[in-house]
Amino acid sequence: MAQEELMKDLQRRMDSAIEVLRKEFGGLRAGRASASLLEPVQVPAYGSSVPLNQVASVNVPEPRMITVQVWDRAVVKAVDKAIREAGLGLNPQTEGQTIRVPIPELNEERRRELTRVAAKYAEEARVAVRKVRQHGIEALRRLEKDGDISQDEQRKVQNDIQHLTDDHIKRIDQTLAQKDKEILQV
């Protein structure tokens, strides 16, 4: 019984590591406009740093343009500055309470840089999955030490955990290959 709960917990935690990776990949632009591109932008407003989507609505009217409709006129300059300083290589243009963010064509050097960033995100996800595996194996050893499971059961479940880990690492590698292909596509 405890092994099943342990496996479900490990599965859930490894799946969440892959979800985090997908969200991080959503923030990497591949030459096309995407509302998720501006998700990591934090705006200093109302006495603290808040996510962009809490002070404005983000739309994609055309493939190479993002529009940001700021709700409060007093925050427009802060939003413009936050987008510029987010390290995304974007140059917003303000028109009243609307900020237009043209998405420039990526050059070869920037594409290579983005693939390196994607590889770094993927490695962080692999490390997270391996940490989950390690916690699972430690929990198994405690169960065996306490006499809740036999040594044979512990080895079998440990093999299951390794297979689960290998499957998640493979999914991370596939996601990375897909993102690299998307980034390098001209």
Q: Kindly list the domain boundaries of the chain, sorted by start residue.
A: 2-26+107-184, 35-102
Q: Please report the pLDDT score of residue 29 as a whole number.
A: 64
List the single range of 5-19, 27-41, 109-123 with lowest mean pLDDT.
27-41
Instruction: State the Cα–Cα distance between residues 68 and 58, nearest whole angstrom.
Output: 5
By C-alpha distance, which of 18, 13, 12 is closest to 173?
18
Residue 97 predicted with pLDDT over 60: yes
For domain 35-102, which architecture applies?
A: 2-Layer Sandwich (3.30)
Mean pLDDT, range 153-174, rounded to an integer? 93
Please tell me the predicted confidence (pLDDT) of residue 175.
93
Q: What's the pLDDT tens digit per position in 51-68? A: 888 889 888 888 788 899
Q: What is the mean pLDDT of residues 154-180?
A: 93
| Confidence at 126, pLDDT banded by 50, 70, 90 | very high
Average pLDDT, integer, range 147-167: 91
Give the C-alpha separation, 175 to 18, whole Å.
9
19/25 Cα distance (integer angstroms): 10
Is 35-102 the same fold as 2-26+107-184? no
pTM of the model: 0.68
The fourth-level CATH superfamily of domain 2-26+107-184 is: Ribosome-recycling factor (1.10.132.20)
What's the mean per-residue pLDDT of the chain?
A: 87
| Residue 30: pLDDT band with limits 50, 70, 90 | low
Based on DSSP, count helices (H) and strands (E) in the chain, helices before strands.
4, 6
Residue 60: per-residue pLDDT: 87
